[in-house]
């Protein structure tokens, strides 16, 4: 069974892609809403939290895990693979870079993400490696957007305040005349309208949600086999009514959310 892990509701953007592609598949989602945001925390702490989250997913029956969080993908993938050698992991950074570099006209690529993701420079390194393989010159411009995750968790996706904050954060991306913009945080698709309005119209926005789901499907098609009674579980470390509301609004369907204590697993 597929497991998905994120610091909060952001990884539901990957669940949304999964449900579009395979509505009858079984999965379990863990969102660490009690400790979100991860993006301002140190890589060591993010790794410790991610290990707890993944341990919970494995205990719930997950055999392959999508790290549906850029911050965890940027800081913890090797630690997770070393801690859980039997489990197959999928991260969200490589698919996003592949999508950006599949655009033949992309010369300037913008990347927005949490402070921790941007500080790791993982996107710059991954883009540089891929660009060298393709023999292309790509300029990368990054911007950390630390307020975006709390705004998405709060469901403030259409507010004027959110649009103003987006405009400020995305100023360097506009100035650099980016051709493509990677949404380097799984919460950001929720703020797509504000982000779209803050960059030039011709900019291609890149969200890796569908690409990561396709990567899982290609590698392990059996995980997508429709089941008679699909098991689709949504576990949150703080299963508040607000989390339920935001999750349902994003997935556009009623869901049952359950509380889980990952710190004890």
Residues known to be catalytic:
69, 185
Residue nearest to ligand DGL (CB): 39
Q: Is 95 in the site for ligand DGL (CB under 6 A)?
A: no
Q: Is 31 in the site for ligand DGL (CB under 6 A)?
A: no
Q: Segment near ligand DGL (CB under 6 A), from 1-9, 189-197, 198-206, 224-232?
A: 1-9
The contact mask relative to ligand DGL for 129-168 (x = CB under 6 A, - = no) is --------------------x-------------------
Q: Is 75 in the site for ligand DGL (CB under 6 A)?
A: no
Name the residue nearer to ligand DGL (CB basis): 40 or 177.
40
Name the residue nearer to ligand DGL (CB basis): 149 or 199.
149
Please report where in the chains the tokens 């650099």 appear, as a residue.
176
Q: 226: exposed, middle or buried (C-beta count within 10 Å: 0-12, 13-18, 19+)?
A: exposed
**Site residues (CB under 6 A) for ligand DGL?**
6-8, 10, 36-39, 69-71, 114, 117, 149, 185-187
């Amino acid at each position: 069974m597929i497991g998905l892990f994120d610091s909060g509701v952001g990884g539901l953007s990957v669940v949304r892609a999964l449900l579009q592609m395979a509505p009858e598949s079984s999965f379990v989602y863990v969102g660490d809403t009690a400790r979100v945001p991860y993006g301002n925390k140190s890589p060591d702490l993010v790794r410790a939290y991610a290990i707890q989250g993944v341990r919970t997913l494995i205990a719930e029956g997950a055999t392959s895990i999508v790290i549906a969080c850029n911050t965890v993908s940027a800081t913890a993938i090797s630690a997770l693979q070393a801690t859980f050698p039997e489990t197959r992991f999928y991260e969200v950074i490589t698919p996003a870079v592949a999508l950006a570099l599949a655009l033949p006209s992309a010369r300037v690529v913008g990347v927005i993400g949490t402070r921790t993701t941007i500080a790791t420079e993982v996107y710059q390194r991954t883009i540089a490696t891929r660009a060298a393989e393709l023999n292309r010159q790509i300029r990368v411009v990054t911007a950390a957007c630390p307020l975006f995750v709390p705004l998405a968790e709060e469901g403030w996706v259409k507010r004027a305040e959110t649009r103003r904050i987006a405009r400020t954060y995305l100023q360097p991306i506009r100035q650099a005349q980016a051709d493509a913009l990677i949404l380097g945080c799984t919460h950001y698709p929720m703020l797509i309208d504000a982000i779209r309005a803050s960059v030039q119209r011709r900019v291609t926005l890149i969200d890796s949600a569908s690409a990561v789901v396709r990567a899982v499907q290609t590698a392990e098609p059996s995980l997508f086999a429709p089941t008679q009674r699909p098991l689709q579980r949504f576990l949150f470390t703080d299963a508040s009514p607000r989390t339920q509301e935001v999750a349902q609004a994003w997935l556009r369907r009623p869901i049952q959310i359950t509380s889980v204590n990952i710190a004890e697993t």
